[in-house]
Structure 1
Amino acid sequence: MATSIPYYFSERELVVALQQREARAQKIAYEKYAGRMMAVCLRYVANRDDAEDVLIEGFMRVFDRIDQFRNEGSFEGWVRRVMVTESLMYLRKNKAWRQEVPLDDLGGEPDYELADANLDAEALIRLVSQLPDGYRTVFNLYAIEGYSHAEIAELTGISEGTSKSQLSRARALLQDKIRRLEIDYKPANHYGKAAS
């Protein structure tokens, strides 16, 4: 006989309830983590509708494979890895993530001084979301998730060299986008002209 699940539980109690296939625990886990996991999915799958599909598939995988969680690290971290993997599977299936942009389109070498540009997190996330799928994927895996190029190669089926190249190109594109933002938004001086 199934036990009644309290509305609030510790992460450990939630995991145990999920392993017992408690429907209410699944609902609580979804409500607790869906917002943060949607943000993860959107970093890889820029289209909101597709990201929602990935999120749902990811939670189905979490619930189906909950017995694989070994209480090593946080449950949320494990769910996050599932969502990243699900996002990569989506991109691989749609073959969109291997797109590249010619380096000639970048307008020269990136200026790493611009890394200190006064962008808020939301603006930076928006810029990252505008990267081609392949660049965005490698950038997120490396810069956000902390994977090495060897791990990225294994996860995505590309070579380490391709991972490094896509990261470099992603950074160059981001720098170019930041440079353009700074040019477009230079503050005007008291004579109404853009400050130099």
Structure 2
Amino acid sequence: MTFNEQELVSGCKQRNRLAQKQLYDVFGGKLFAICMRYIKNRTDAEDVLQDAFIKIYENIHSFRNDSPLEYWLRSVTVNTALNHLRQQKNWKDLSDIELHENGLADKEFTLADFQLQQLMGFIHELPVGCQTIFNLYAIEGYQHNEIAQKLGISEGTSKSQYSRARSLLQQKLNKEKRFDDGSVQRTQF
């Protein structure tokens, strides 16, 4: 589907329902994938996506065309997902942990032998704090000082949660390395 970004934004600013539908049709799938990275329950992720689009439609006038529209939409969606997580009781469990738990956080490992869906499943199994910070840092590209500010935590907490997430993921990857032929090999990194 082709679209003109400026016309689409202009139509949404005028609250044109067809423009709003086209915005959803063009970006809804990508933004839902973002919601699913942060929210473990599909139904809740759908609710977060709906909330994100409400915010997008209500605040589209603040989009200034100084960055790609998709970047602004992603930012609104991530913030909406984070707000949802803050409202959950288990969000309060973020705390500083030892930075290099089991010495695994500094080791490099390869993801080439794993399918995206399998990796996303591993990420979804992480504790909420680790999963959130891993997504913000490794996938969204935020720096630890930005994450700390966004989440109201210390930069050290962000770093330690990321380190813990890497360690937990590495342990999962070490336990299972699958190949295209279905065979499994346990590996050490």
With the shorter chain as reference, the TM-score category is 0.7 to 0.9
- Write out aligned runs for 1:1-196 (5 A): 9-99=3-93, 108-110=102-104, 112-116=107-111, 118-182=113-177, 185-186=184-185
Q: State the structure with more CA Rg.
A: 1
SS where residue 3 of structure 2 aligns? coil
Separation (CA, whole Å) in 2 of partners of 1:16 and 1:45: 31
| RMSD (CA atoms) | 2.6
- Between the two proteins, the alignment pairs up a number of residues equal to 180
Shift of 1:116: 4.8
Moved more, 25-34 or 175-184: 175-184
Separation (CA, whole Å) in 2 of partners of 1:84 and 1:43: 10
Distance 1:100 1:180, change over 3 A: farther
Mark the runs of 5 or more structure 2 residues left unpaired by the alignment: none
Separation (CA, whole Å) in 1 of partners of 2:108 and 2:12: 48
SS where residue 96 of structure 1 aligns? helix
Question: Runs of 4+ in structure 1 displaced over 2 angstroms?
Answer: 95-101, 111-117
Separation (CA, whole Å) in 2 of partners of 1:54 and 1:24: 22
Task: Using the aligned pairs only, state the percent identity.
Answer: 43
SS where residue 178 of structure 1 aligns? helix
Distance 1:115 1:57, change over 3 A: same
Shift of 1:181: 1.1
Q: TM-score, normalised by structure 1?
A: 0.83
